Amino acid sequence: MIPAIVRPPRLRPGDHVRLVSPASTPAPEAVEGTSRFLEGLGLRVTVGEHALDRLGYLAGTDEDRLADLNAALRDPGITAVIATKGGKGAYRIAGDLDFAAAARHPKLLVGFSEITVLHLALWQRTGVAGLHGAPFEVSWAGERAAQSFLTAAFTTDDITVTASADEPTSALTTSGRVSGVLLGGNQDMVATAAGWALPDLTGAILLLEAYNLRLGHIDRQLTMLERSGRLEGVRGIAVGQYTECGPTPDEQLDWTAVDVLRDRLGRLGVPILGGLPIGHGSDPVAVPVGTPAVLDAGAGTLTVSAAVV
């Protein structure tokens, strides 16, 4: 069942936002830079107690990462929760979020990549919309990424993302115009969530992007999703950036990530819009997830209603 869509409040100067690390450990200078950027927008910024912890590839123990995230979800004085980084490990705590608190005090969760699994779990259990994107302090984020965050987090304007012919996945674009709730994000996390944190995608537009997946990984994950019935009822596919995806350097193959995507996604028989500047590529845009959207393959646009009110 599709839950009723819940839009958290939009950000305003003076609002309190919390930086947390649900997955891997960010660089301290990246957290400092993100804090300065947000403070420059007039926001009050605090950092989770364990945001800089390190345990292997994780930002501390599961218990501590979860505690930071749940503390932010439970605090009615916090307007938005912003993930410092993706990486690995958010899937380990996604099923233990305080969903009752998230429903009681809806707030905008901002993040992408690994954070997709948290967006999916929250929407499945509470219907709270989120924001996929906003990589503030990485070398490949620029003015477009920053401006898209400002529009998506501070206004209730619809967000229109225009496909770019320069993006390799633009070759996947077919034809057709469909509407539905936009769900998804990082392909690896969509596949990871299947069976426990992935919402029913019937009537949805599925957003997909990826980083550092080999051709076999892309193939196996999409085949699993299709064969398990998790893609039944999907109305359209919005494809973002598949960055550093493809054969390994020692493989001599005539297929690329785009070929695998065309082979797997084309079987669904629904409109596909590729070339969207969403994901891990150069200067990616932020886009709401969990709200109604219109995919127009012919016009090359994905228009998504605001995640906030």
CATH of the domain at 296: 3.50.30.60
Q: Would residue 11 count as lying in a domain?
A: no
Total structural domains within the chain: 2
pLDDT at 138 over 70: no
Whether 119 sits among the annotated catalytic residues: the reply is no
**Does one domain contain both 163 and 284?**
yes
Cβ–Cβ < 8 Å for 266, 145: no
**Does one domain contain both 132 and 252?**
no
pLDDT at 183 over 90: yes
- What's the CA gap between 252 and 272, in Å, rounded? 28
Tell me what pLDDT residue 260 has: 97
Instruction: Determine the structural domain holding residue 266 and report its residue range.
Output: 159-304
**Does one domain contain both 183 and 54?**
no
**Does one domain contain both 268 and 177?**
yes
Whether 148 sits among the annotated catalytic residues: the reply is no
Q: Would residue 167 count as lying in a domain?
A: yes
The alpha carbon of 299 is separated from its chain's Cα centroid by a whole number of angstroms, namely 23
Domain boundary among 119, 154, 189: 154
Tell me what pLDDT residue 86 has: 94
**Does one domain contain both 109 and 210?**
no
| pLDDT band per the 50, 70, 90 thresholds, residue 134 | confident
pLDDT at 251 over 90: no
- What's the CA gap between 80 and 130, in Å, rounded? 10
Q: Would residue 1 count as lying in a domain?
A: no
Closest by CA position to 22, among listed 189, 152, 147, 153: 189
**Does one domain contain both 142 and 262?**
no
Domain boundary among 112, 131, 154: 154
**Does one domain contain both 141 and 165?**
no
> Three-state DSSP class for 107?
coil
Mean of pLDDT over the chain: 95
pLDDT at 304 over 60: yes
| pLDDT band per the 50, 70, 90 thresholds, residue 76 | very high
Rounded to two decimals, what is the model's pTM? 0.97
Residues 6+ apart with CB under 8 A from 7: 106, 128, 129, 291, 306, 307, 308, 309
Domain boundary among 106, 125, 154: 154
Residue in this structure with the two tokens 């490949």, named with its chain if needed: 140
Cβ–Cβ < 8 Å for 234, 204: yes
Residue in this structure with the two tokens 């080999």, named with its chain if needed: 214
Q: Would residue 299 count as lying in a domain?
A: yes
- What's the CA gap between 162 and 242, in Å, rounded? 17
Q: Would residue 3 count as lying in a domain?
A: no
- Single out the catalytic residue among 105, 119, 132, 280: 280
Tell me what pLDDT residue 140 has: 59
**Does one domain contain both 33 and 89?**
yes
**Does one domain contain both 267 and 249?**
yes
Higher pLDDT, 239 or 141: 239
DSSP for residue 2: P
Mean pLDDT of all residues in 253-261: 94
Tell me what pLDDT residue 249 has: 76
- Single out the catalytic residue among 35, 113, 148, 305: 113
Burial class, 175, CB count within 10 angstroms (exposed 0-12 / middle 13-18 / buried 19+): exposed
Among 40-44, 173-177, 215-219, 279-283, the minimum mean pLDDT is found in 279-283
Whether 209 sits among the annotated catalytic residues: the reply is yes
- What CATH code is carried by the domain that includes residue 40? 3.40.50.10740
Q: Would residue 146 count as lying in a domain?
A: yes
Alpha helical stretches, state H, 19-98? 28-39, 62-74
Q: Would residue 281 count as lying in a domain?
A: yes
CA distances from 99 to 10, 81, 119, 275 (A): 20, 14, 12, 34
Q: Would residue 135 count as lying in a domain?
A: yes
- What's the CA gap between 89 and 203, in Å, rounded? 29
Portion of the chain with pLDDT greater than 70, in percent: 96
